[in-house]
């Protein structure tokens, strides 16, 4: 299980996890406006891997991620995405197990 939060924040300069939640922008994947809070938790515990590309102009996204997420999460965020066929196979296998 991944450890979600950084063990040591860097007070007094740490950025609160929810500090930017009300910011919004057009999502290049979904094609509509999304709040930063969605980018933090896009239906999974790990933030969207595109956060660095999408938010670097608006906020100090590097510092935000470094302050709020463990090294494991940060490493998971920079992993290349799985090929779609592998994701589909995993979904099919999970469906078979639950039926
Ligand atoms: S970080 Fe992800 S969810 Fe957020 S706008 Fe970018 S692509 Fe969309």
- Assess whether pLDDT exceeds 80 at residue 4: no
Tell me the pLDDT band of 11, cut-offs 50, 70 and 90. Answer: low
Nearest C-alpha neighbor of 53 from the set 37, 77, 31: 77
The pair of structure tokens assigned to 30 is: 């979904």
Judged by average pLDDT, the poorest of 5-9, 10-14, 69-73, 86-90 is: 5-9
pLDDT for residue 43 is more than 70: yes
Q: Is 88 in the pocket of ligand 1 (CB under 6 A)?
A: no
Ligand 1 centroid distance, CA of 3 (Å): 22
Alpha carbon of 32 to ligand 1 centroid (Å): 10
Between 46 and 10, where is the model more confident?
Answer: 46
């Amino acid at each position: 299980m991944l450890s979600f939060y950084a063990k040591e924040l860097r007070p007094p300069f740490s950025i609160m996890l929810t500090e930017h939640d009300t910011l919004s922008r057009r999502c290049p994947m979904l094609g509509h406006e999304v709040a930063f809070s969605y980018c933090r938790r896009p239906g999974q515990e790990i933030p969207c891997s595109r956060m660095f590309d999408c938010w670097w102009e608006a906020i100090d996204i590097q510092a935000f991620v470094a302050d709020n997420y463990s090294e494991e999460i940060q490493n998971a965020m920079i992993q290349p995405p799985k090929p779609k066929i592998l994701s589909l196979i995993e979904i099919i296998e999970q469906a078979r197990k639950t039926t």
